[in-house]
Chain A
Amino acid sequence: MSAAMISEHIPDIDLITTYGERQDSAVSRASPWTKFILLILIVMMITLTSNLVILIAMYAAILIACFMTGLPMRKILAWYAMPVVFVLSLVGIMAWNQPGVPVLSFTIGGFVLTLTDLGILLVITLLIKALISVTFSLFFLMTTKYAHFSAMISRIFPSPLDQIFLLAYRFLFLTLAMAASILKAVRSRGGGLVRSIRVQGGLFAGVFGLVFIRSFEQAERVQKAMTSRGYNGTFAAHTAIPKPRIAEYGLLCISGLAVIMMMWLVPHAGGW
């Protein structure tokens, strides 16, 4: 059962994993380390620069890469909902009364609110920054195999954090399926209908409570089963992760140089 059944605007982990396992494009076959380092460099780049031309160029390049790889663009656009809400709820308020040429102005309760051209530019800039990060994250997830992610987690995080991460990542799919089936059962009995806050709140509290209780029971069962099979607190992922090829090293060097140049340039433009 797909997690998409839970919420259409939340990324569907099952669909993401399905695309990750396909491995039918050159990007999919590239080293996960290359994509991981590129993600870090992209985050650094959008943290360092607010130049709209650079940001739009980066966003366009990532979108083209997604399109060329055959990723579901409509789904990705639908999954933008929450990041956009996060950005707008924070910056949407702060954009008012920014210096610049007034575009819109009105008074509420004695306070004059003015939206300027620079205020709108601020919203657009931070929105594009967020979308660059989100799109590349999804691109990374949808072009990398589950086994490679597990192996990367095992190598990056210290114990027992790696154990928690690996087990959580493994059981996420089961828990999502369980939550989806509980919700389906609730909806089939008319639970999706909008009722009073008390009834609706109680209904969903029961669903959440059941998800947590079943998760605890599964945790106990799994722990006993793993211990009986010799689990001693080390759950290692030994999958070999493909190393970057020469062309990938070249791409990383160019991207790294671009970030270093930006770090050198930005202090002159206002500091980092």
Chain B
Amino acid sequence: MAHIHLEDGSFTLVWVLIWWIIALACIGAALWFLRSPGRNNQKLITIAAFITAAAFAVFQINIPLFGGVHLNLTPLIGILAGPVLGTLVVLVINILSAAIGHGGWGLVGANVLVNLSEVIVAYIIFRGIRRLIPDLFSRAGIATFAGLFCGNLMMVAIILISGIQGVTQSSSQILAGLTLIMAVNMGVAVIEALITGLVVRYIGKIRPDILGENHP
């Protein structure tokens, strides 16, 4: 995993509600944007549903590297679906994940915000550096790593602001512990960036239209 799914009981009720409200505001904005006139909602809805199912299925696959790695591929969702559909996809994935214990129900709000930062940053970088780096593998790899780095920063910020129930350490001590977790996560992020780069290159060869690339 390149990031941690926070489990129920980690935060106090107040912080659970605060992160849920912020996440719902983001989801509300995505829904408002999706309902705006001139968008082919039927096609977008179907594509979002299949990306959700594919991302959830891919997460189940154990890659036999370094004892076993599961990848969330959240930045890939950003690259394929964009930030608007991506927001809704990460919400549904987090709810499905909470249902099987991969992240708490109360923490869906916080987990959505962590995933959302990955989706948005990966999308912006993948589209933003298209002219600078035309190669799909490198571009997707850089976008994924940057997305996961921001996701980790978001996770650290959320934990530092909320605090973990029962942890009585000072902020600097918590930050030291989180920095260690972040270092491990970024190690896995390198693997995820490489694999996402390969996946995007593979998709680019077979169906470049999915990536919104002009060249065949």
Interface residues of A (CB under 8 A from B): 3, 6-7, 10-11, 13, 16, 39-40, 43-44, 46-48, 50, 79-80, 82-83, 85-87, 89-91, 93-94, 96-99, 121-122, 125-126, 129-130, 132-134, 137-138, 140-141, 158, 160-161, 163-172, 174-176, 178-179, 183, 192, 194, 197, 200-202, 204-213, 215-220, 222-223, 226-227, 231-233, 263, 271-272
Contacts and interface: CB of A to CB of B under 8 A. Distances in A.
Interface stretch (B6-14, B114-122, B125-133): B6-14
B171 interface: no
Interface string B30-65: 010011000001110111111111101110111111
Contact of A137 (B46, B105, B174, B180): B105
Contacts of A171: 49-50, 53
Nearest to A16: B100
Closest 5 CB pairs of A and B: A129-B9, A205-B198, A134-B101, A167-B49, A209-B202
A201 B95 CA distance: 28
Nearest to B207: A213
B194 A201 contact: yes
Contacts of B191: 201
Contacts of A176: 53, 57, 60
B54 A133 contact: no
A215 to B, nearest CB: 4
Contacts of B5: 86
Given A174-B53, A205-B197, 19 more contacts: A11-B101, A82-B101, A83-B101, A90-B4, A93-B181, A126-B165, A137-B101, A138-B101, A164-B49, A165-B95, A168-B50, A175-B56, A176-B57, A204-B63, A210-B202, A211-B57, A212-B199, A213-B210, A218-B50
B65 A197 contact: yes
Interface in B123-173: 159, 164-169, 173
Nearest to B63: A204
A179 B51 contact: no
B62 A6 contact: yes
Contact of B53 (A122, A132, A175): A175
B61 A133 contact: no
Contact of B65 (A161, A201, A218): A201
Contacts of A169: 96
Interface residues of B, number: 85
A97 B169 contact: yes
A132 B105 CA distance: 12
A183 B201 CA distance: 20
B105 A211 contact: no
Contacts of A204: 61, 63, 195
28 contacts: A6-B57, A7-B60, A40-B105, A43-B104, A47-B16, A50-B165, A79-B101, A83-B101, A86-B5, A90-B181, A93-B181, A96-B177, A133-B8, A134-B100, A140-B99, A160-B31, A161-B27, A161-B92, A164-B52, A165-B92, A205-B197, A212-B80, A215-B50, A215-B54, A220-B46, A222-B50, A223-B42, A272-B13
Residue with the highest number of chain A CB atoms closer than 10 Å, among B49, B71, B96: B49
Contacts of A137: 98-101, 105
A10 to B, nearest CB: 5
Nearest to A90: B4
B31 A172 contact: no
Given A137-B99, A164-B92, A93 B177 contact: yes
A63 B57 CA distance: 28
Nearest to A13: B100
Contacts of B202: 205-206, 209-210, 213
Interface string B54-90: 1011101111110000110100100010000000110
A10 B72 CA distance: 13
Contacts of B41: 160, 233
B92 to A, nearest CB: 5
Contacts of B165: 50, 126
B104 A133 contact: yes
B193 to A, nearest CB: 11
Given A165-B92, A208-B61, A272-B12, A129 B105 contact: no
